[in-house]
Structure 1
Amino acid sequence: MNLLIVESPNKIKKITALLPQGWHVEASVGHIRDLPLRDLGIDRSNNYRMHYAINTDKEKTVANLKAKVRQVGAENVYLATDPDREGEAISYHLCQVLGLDVKTAKRVTFQEITGPAILAAVAQPRKLDTHLVAAQECRRAVDRLVGWEISPLLTRHFQSKGYSAGRVQSVATRLVVERERTIQAFSGKQTYPVSAVFRTRTAEMLPARWVGEAPQTEEEARQLLQRISQARDFAVLSIEQQPVATSPPAPYSTSSLQQDGVKKLKLTVQQVSDLAQKLFEAGHITYIRTDSVNLSEEARQEAATQIRQQFGVDYAVGGSGRTFREKAGSQGAHEAIRPTHWEQATAGDTVDQQQLYQLIYARALASQMSDAKYDQTTILVAAARPGPEGLTFQSKVRVLRFEGYRKAYQEAVEEVDEDAALAEGAEGAALQHPVGEGEVMELRRARAAGRSQKPPRRFDEATLVAELERLQIGRPSTYASTLRTIHAREYVANGSVTGTKVKAKTLIWEDGKLREETRTETIGGDKNKLVPTERGNGVTDFLLRYFVDIVNLDFTAKCEADFDEVAEGRRRFTEVVPAFDNRLTELRTAAEVDLPAPKKAH
């Protein structure tokens, strides 16, 4: 009899059905032990040795696992926790608690819950990767030290409980706070983008934009419209036609799936993570905690077969398939997220699971499909008079000629600044009849629409995750818990901001007359975004004053790089953690001088 220990009990039934007789599957239900709740649990005087305690809610689980180990024998135990640093650490703790030899314990990993993957994994167990364990312990130690040392000082400063600091959560809060302050302090200048509409010889209307720099004042805009209206004699200066191709996006990593789930399905990051976990446990998709954007060679070939069957040979990219450049800081330890069965276009037990699966399926399939192809035509229209000043307008038209990957997947539509679109004028209308160089064009209308520069948009969960990933802060697998924490601590809230209403003037020349129209623009308004609370502002100000290194973006990203070096065996736990703690202690000592004394218990 063999014993396979996984993390989630939801995997037991599926994996048991895939293994032959003689196997028993049990679950650790995540971590079985952790640092103690009421003590630091890190022995600074003994090379920062970690002292763990079995979680009270896992005592029965541990007792059951011990009994199973005694029943089958330690030599027949296989540790199949998740294939990442956290999973490696859980396997290490299982060894410690269950009496397994860390040096000889059988560790197995698989990227998908399918028969071939499970059988291949148990047929070739490996040893525990102690470098990965050390990297996880580094992260845990640093995070415990930050919370243990700074959170009590927050309580003293605010004379209230319920405040906490964290290496990633505090930076995430800072990003939301500083974005809000940037918006509030923003004072943008106004410009007057100029556009025009021309009538062709076949009576079609061609919208175009002036190629020059937009006027900075109303008076400059009036003068330019006056010149345009006096020129009158416009003709086609040049026509450029060229094929344009767009390549498909990479298959999903953890963070890009979270972002698309928020944008396309209107879910939260936590909901996306929970749904994806269910799909993985059911064997529908590969492992969900990954920063890779590439599929295995075998998966690329399987996808190509499916593409040819569904869409035809022209839609398959050909060769050995398409690969993508990994992002900076990517560990690339696992495949990108993909379906385990390409012939299965739908899967999931609930509507939300099914919708998320369809996203994953479509994106993975599209990544191995041909480019979308367009014909792009750029038309320049210029005035014959007044000549030297050069009154030139540009119109671009792009026509889809071959759908390619877009047959399976289309990118999420990004938010559009409606005021900017209105001010800059429409462009891209397709003509039914071609025009030729030198063809005379009749100016029908010209306008200069005043618009104010806009501040950056507030973050929502998707864009905050994207920013954290861009800055290499934290890991995608932790983003859901980070967002959950800053909401629970009431440092940020989901909300809408009305913004400031300002008047904008549009000057329009038409039928030989210049007239004015007035519209209202909104500056700094947003709907359903992350807004910092008073608590979030207060905590950020405190940390920037006393613990600037902890919320420094580069410093926090460097921590991740340090953990990566430990995972690769290039640095040691005993180098990284003490160095971090020494700096933290310096900052804490300086902060204590300014803070009020802690309240005495009565």
Structure 2
Amino acid sequence: MTVDVNPVYEKLCPICGGRASVSEIKMYGSCRRCSTREKTVLNALTLHQVLLDEQREFNSFFQKITNGYKPWGAQETWLKRLLNNENTVIIAPTGMGKTTLLLAYALYASTRYQKKTLILTPTKTLAKQTYLKLLEYSDRLDNRRPKILYYDSSLSKKKREELLEKIKNGEYNILVLTNHFLIKRFDLLSNDHIHIVMIDDVDALLKNNKNIAKLLKLLGYSDELIEKVKEKHRIIWKIILSKTFEKEELIDQYIHKLIEIEEEIEELMRKTKKRQVIIASATGKMKGSNAKILRELLRIDVSGITIYGRNITDTYKLIDNDPSEINKILTTLGKGGLILVSPRHPFREKIDSIVQSIIKELRNKGFRVEEATPSNVKKFIEGEIDYLIGSSSYYGICVRGIDAPKTIRYVVFLGTPVFTVELDTLLASPNMLVRTALFLAEYYGENRYRRIACEIRKKIFTLTNSELRIISMLLKKKLTLNDLNNKKLENVYKSLEEYYRDILNDLKALLSREKVLEVNTLTFYYNGEKYVAMIPDVLTYIQGSGRASRLYLGRMTHGLSIIFEFHELSNLVKALDLKLSFYSGSRLFRELDKIDLEKELDEIISSRRNIDIPGSIKYKNILVVVESPTKAKSIAKFFGKPVKRKIGTVNIYEIPFVKNNEVYHLNIMATRGHIYDLTTNPKTPNHGIVFNHKEIQPHYDTIKRCRVCGHQFTYGDQCPRCGSRSYIDSLEIINVLRKLAGEAHEIYIATDPDIEGEKIAYDVYLVVKEFNKNIWRIELHEITLREFMKALERKRSIDEKLVEAEIYRRSLDRLIGFSLSHELWRKYGKKWFGAGRVQTPVLGWIIDKYNEYSRNKCRKLVFRVKDYPRIHLSICIPYKDRDLYDKLSSIGKARFKHVKTYIETINPKPPYTTDELLYDASRYGISSSTTMKIAQELFESGLITYHRTNHHYISSTGISIAMKYLEEKKLIEYSKPSHWGEPGAHEAIRPVHPLDRMDLEKTVAEGLINPIIPLTHLHYRIYDLIFKRFISSQMKPYRVLRREYLVELGEGYSEKLVLDVGIVENGFNLIVKPRVYEELRNILEFESDIELIVSRIASKTVLYNEGGIIKKMKNEGLGRPSTYAKIISSIARHGYIIRSKKRNYLIPTKTGVEVYGFLTSNYPELVSVETTRRMEEMIDRIACGELSCGEALTTIYGLIKEYKLPLSIIEVETSISS
């Protein structure tokens, strides 16, 4: 008989929020009870329907006031948030309809809900335009028209005073003001009158703390609430410092304080009258302490930088002081030129001279050329000016304040946009200090600087990122040693301060001679007064050049960008191009002389032809769901700097991009891992899995995570570990998923590409199924823009066979693990004891290896060969042979006799699988759990491919990365590309960029790559292992001269010693350096004094370390890449093994041996290697559809019942108490 598996989920029903099975959700869209009820109860689905109904009502209103136009895709997306009374940031260029929507919304809120709206604009001109448009729209309303006020400072004094009185008394429905009015006449505005605040050009209003403070008051936030938020930020900083200084008792204390103050903030927020804030641009940077408060209270971050799309030809031309070539090009290109001057450029005086020449020359030819002022910008947009000259400043009016797709055809940069940093400040970063020391080593060819770099690395090797920040602040003199109460950091600082002074002085001396130095993306310059580093300002360039290419009424205009840079500073353009390549995936800049200007002009003109006729614009609001916030931020950063939206405690990263003239508006959120797990409710039989006659029902509940100790649980309202009632429930994630699903056109679930990820995806699918019908699964095998775009094309449905495999694996772990663990509780009365289907046989191997180790004990002697001190001779003497031990211990000489010399070919190993990475990392003393955590972070930061894999296969993309690296390092002659087998579910673990460890460190130090999480020495060490293994796998073998010696130690005792004494032919040894004793190449026989350096009790059998036992698990077919580390951690947590201090060998405890003996004696069929291996094979068979999950679970259930193991915690507690 076929037994179906029908999981049951608590809180899944979208109507009552109660329990529902998968079959019910698929059949009814709700639980069975709600399917027969009248749909009048207020719930998630009816609220969703109410919102849709109101949206239809608004659409009719919108059509009426706009003479028949309907809201299009982007407007509909924004509207859902507005109608939901949500604080909203709208990011969109001109022509997307954001202003029209907001004015319509202000009128709708006024007439429908009698809400009063304040609209703040940056200029008087824009304020007046807004006012007139509101009047035009309101004239089309049949019912009572709202009272619209606009303060016009050009009116007579009497009329101004009348207006001010009306503003003071709140005699308006919609009030239009400039930012200047808010700042100067803030006292006239009462927060009692205002319900909605709309802000245009957020930078102008929120560029200082005082303005933000006024806005906070206007929004009705009390001084008490603001002070509480400040206190919260102070506590968070104290937690960071306490972690830095490893003060565990303080961390616990501050966490409790943080929980308390967050509860107080929430209570005050509930009492605060809510006002809706709508920000109509998101290209700003709020600064200061009040900015943090505003972000927290509004639950939105207005610091995003977004590029909707870009169709630009990026070019450059190197120049001297002669402006004639520039004039010639500007004349050829004609009107519509935006000319931007680099404000921080070191040759600014020369540029200013060129600008004056340009103005004179173009005016002589009859062109209209003016400098950028608000009035000239307007004239330029309207075609009354041919060329506009402004500043390439991020906040400049020409970079951010002009949206004129019809007018601006091309952008000319006079000097590359740059940041400048004084050398003293730049080198205060320890990583930048290392980078500069390496540059000086390369420049002078001196090892002294390389040694300094190594010394600094050693000093900062174990420092956390918080500690590095403190060192940097000390070097900048922002902190003093008196502020520090940490001896370790004090010693590091004192060492680094000396290196800092030396490197700074040496670099300044060099710059005084050379004037300009190029260090990859950094350009150092000395102007006779200041020593500065110049760093390309990528975002200003993108924003500025983007003025010539805008999405307008469904069309993307084509533009041209030209950077004119001086020959001496050509590195600025190279550096900008390199930085841009990390956004775009390829180099963008071409020499101006190598492009056809006439062809460019034709494309520029044709893309603007009939521009006012709306194009066929397409728009999709896409919800992307991943597991981790790190992955969410990494994906969002592919397209610019995202806007952060907060719903409850959940962050959503919002960013648009354009592909094939279609706007994709991404909302990316993380589930924070699984949202459901099997329940531990004692009333649910069989440890959460109900076996009925015709079906099996695993019962799932939402996961709660304790905010105090971090423990995860599913049942109850307090943490079972520490008793805290403060926890985060994944029910919040479910609610946010449903809200966002209702806003989206499509949902893409991009959880990890394995059965765990498939199960998370399936749970997300069940949660949002009734709110959105367009749900897709995508797989990301590396976190890169290229892979993300490919994944969108490879979308698929959820693979329910993979889901069943995960349900079987989890149910198997629960049934066997809980049953055996509870039996141990019953026998020993100790609730920390536990057992698992894989843990138990693995414990057995550790015990067997230890027994073998004990049987093969020996006395180990290690000698150093004095004439060749790199050679160590290791000897194991039988433990009981004391005479031989005494004899050899006193030996002072050894004779090395030549046996044979031969050439050996050494082949590279394949790139890493998970178990191989864990094995090698363990040899460096890094635990498997730490290695997996680090690898997960490297993957989510877009630095390596997916790290849970059993495959060695390398894709063509991977091979191209290796070839690019070898070519750059001039090692291409040693390449030997290999796929290492056929494609599997995943690739091997490999790097995503052609950057070795040192390249990566330089790239991060220079800001070319900005990982989402700070990289520590462990990240770099694991990355180095992965990179070297991968690159060597794509290289030729090397050939080595190998020699075998017979080493005679006194009379009657000799040992064989094999050494590599020379490289015959190079290959991958150029990357992974082997140990070669070149000094012995021509020495066949020799005699040398020897020195005993180690004498200890050892064994001929080597104990397992974590890597060794994982290798055994892989070879025996037990465990999976995702579970190797957890298995070892669980065995250690139960107290069954300990780790040796020096080498981290795994040693069984007396308890472990006793428990293992009990389990294998009484339940052999549940814990044997063979049974466990069969269970692992069943997971694969279920995933392939060869085996029924229900059938497999029924077999295991029968076996557990046969052994009469406890299937409920109640049975155990009853047994213990009796």
Normalised-by-shorter TM-score class? 0.7 to 0.9
- 1:457 matched to 2:1073? The reply is no
For 2:1204 and 2:915, how far apart are their aligned partners in 1? Answer: 33
Matching residue of 1:400: 1062
For 2:1213 and 2:1186, how far apart are their aligned partners in 1? Answer: 43
Matching residue of 2:634: 14
- 1:112 matched to 2:112? The reply is no
For 1:216 and 1:54, how far apart are their aligned partners in 2? Answer: 57
1:463, distance to aligned residue in structure 2 (A): 1.3
Q: Is the 8 A contact 2:857 2:879 kept in 1?
A: no
**1:257–1:101 Cα change, 3 Å:** farther
> SS of the counterpart of 1:52?
strand
Q: Is the 8 A contact 1:107 1:126 kept in 2?
A: yes
For 2:844 and 2:1058, how far apart are their aligned partners in 1? Answer: 41
> SS of the counterpart of 2:1140?
strand
> SS of the counterpart of 2:1062?
strand
Matching residue of 1:550: 1166
- 1:171 matched to 2:841? The reply is yes
- 1:341 matched to 2:993? The reply is yes
1:303, distance to aligned residue in structure 2 (A): 0.7
What are the within-5 Å matches in structure 2 for residues 56-455 of structure 1?
56=704, 57-73=729-745, 76-99=746-769, 105-184=775-854, 186=855, 242-264=902-924, 266-317=925-976, 321-324=977-980, 332-343=984-995, 345-346=999-1000, 349-377=1015-1043, 398-401=1060-1063, 402-410=1065-1073, 430=1080, 432=1082, 454-455=1099-1100
Q: 2:699 aligns with which of 51, 72, 76?
A: 51
After superposition, give the CA deviation of every residue in 1:263-283 in whole Å (9 maximum; x if it has no partner). Answer: 13x221111111111111111
> Which piece of structure 1 moves more, 288-297 or 370-379?
370-379
- 1:475 matched to 2:1138? The reply is no
1:29, distance to aligned residue in structure 2 (A): 1.1
After superposition, give the CA deviation of every residue in 1:223-266 in whole Å (9 maximum; x if it has no partner). Answer: xxxxxxxxxxxxx9x986543111111211112112222213x2
Amino acid at match of 1:580: I
Matching residue of 2:580: none
For 2:763 and 2:1212, how far apart are their aligned partners in 1? Answer: 41
Q: Is the 8 A contact 2:779 2:791 kept in 1?
A: yes
Amino acid at match of 1:366: S
After superposition, give the CA deviation of every residue in 1:268-318 in whole Å (9 maximum; x if it has no partner). Answer: 11111111111111111111111112211231133123213214233211x
Amino acid at match of 1:362: K
**1:103–1:489 Cα change, 3 Å:** farther
For 1:410 and 1:47, how far apart are their aligned partners in 2? Answer: 59
Matching residue of 1:502: none
**1:246–1:70 Cα change, 3 Å:** same
Q: Is the 8 A contact 2:819 2:1206 kept in 1?
A: no
For 1:169 and 1:216, how far apart are their aligned partners in 2? Answer: 33
After superposition, give the CA deviation of every residue in 1:154-186 in whole Å (9 maximum; x if it has no partner). Answer: 1111123222211122222222223223334x1
> SS of the counterpart of 1:51?
strand
Q: Is the 8 A contact 1:103 1:127 kept in 2?
A: no
**1:190–1:259 Cα change, 3 Å:** closer
After superposition, give the CA deviation of every residue in 1:197-218 in whole Å (9 maximum; x if it has no partner). Answer: 9xxxxxx9xx9x9xxxx99999
1:392, distance to aligned residue in structure 2 (A): 12
Q: Is the 8 A contact 1:42 1:51 kept in 2?
A: yes
Amino acid at match of 2:1019: Q
For 1:452 and 1:354, how far apart are their aligned partners in 2? Answer: 36
For 2:1057 and 2:1151, how far apart are their aligned partners in 1? Answer: 50
For 1:397 and 1:181, how far apart are their aligned partners in 2? Answer: 32
After superposition, give the CA deviation of every residue in 1:47-85 in whole Å (9 maximum; x if it has no partner). Answer: 323222222420111111111011215xx1111111111
> SS of the counterpart of 2:1166?
coil
Amino acid at match of 2:814: R
Q: Is the 8 A contact 1:289 1:476 kept in 2?
A: yes
Q: Is the 8 A contact 2:626 2:750 kept in 1?
A: yes
Q: Is the 8 A contact 2:829 2:1216 kept in 1?
A: no
Q: Is the 8 A contact 2:961 2:993 kept in 1?
A: no
Amino acid at match of 2:691: R
**1:369–1:28 Cα change, 3 Å:** same
> SS of the counterpart of 1:256?
helix
**1:495–1:353 Cα change, 3 Å:** same
**1:308–1:538 Cα change, 3 Å:** same
Q: 1:27 aligns with which of 664, 667, 670?
A: 670
1:564, distance to aligned residue in structure 2 (A): 0.8
Q: Is the 8 A contact 2:954 2:980 kept in 1?
A: no
**1:310–1:157 Cα change, 3 Å:** same
Q: 1:569 aligns with which of 1182, 1185, 1197?
A: 1185
**1:571–1:275 Cα change, 3 Å:** same
1:188, distance to aligned residue in structure 2 (A): 6.9
Matching residue of 2:624: 4
Q: How many residues align?
A: 510
Amino acid at match of 1:398: D
Amino acid at match of 1:270: S
> SS of the counterpart of 1:307?
helix
> SS of the counterpart of 1:22?
strand
**1:119–1:286 Cα change, 3 Å:** same
Amino acid at match of 2:668: V
> SS of the counterpart of 2:1144?
strand
Amino acid at match of 2:1139: N
1:597, distance to aligned residue in structure 2 (A): 10
For 1:350 and 1:107, how far apart are their aligned partners in 2? Answer: 33
After superposition, give the CA deviation of every residue in 1:493-526 in whole Å (9 maximum; x if it has no partner). Answer: 1235xxxxxxxxxxxxxxxxxxxxxxxxxxxxx8
Q: Is the 8 A contact 1:546 1:588 kept in 2?
A: no
Matching residue of 1:448: none
Q: Is the 8 A contact 2:914 2:947 kept in 1?
A: yes
1:14, distance to aligned residue in structure 2 (A): 1.8
Q: Is the 8 A contact 1:346 1:358 kept in 2?
A: no
1:102, distance to aligned residue in structure 2 (A): 11
> SS of the counterpart of 2:912?
coil
For 1:178 and 1:565, how far apart are their aligned partners in 2? Answer: 31
Q: Is the 8 A contact 1:547 1:588 kept in 2?
A: no
> SS of the counterpart of 1:30?
coil
TM-score, normalised by the number of residues in structure 2: 0.38
Amino acid at match of 2:1130: T
Which structure's CA Rg is the greater one?
2
TM-score, normalised by the number of residues in structure 1: 0.73
Amino acid at match of 2:831: K
For 2:666 and 2:800, how far apart are their aligned partners in 1? Answer: 27
Q: Is the 8 A contact 2:911 2:1033 kept in 1?
A: yes
**1:190–1:165 Cα change, 3 Å:** closer
Q: Is the 8 A contact 1:346 1:357 kept in 2?
A: no
> SS of the counterpart of 1:476?
coil
Q: 2:688 aligns with which of 23, 41, 48?
A: 41
Amino acid at match of 1:457: V
Q: Is the 8 A contact 1:316 1:370 kept in 2?
A: yes
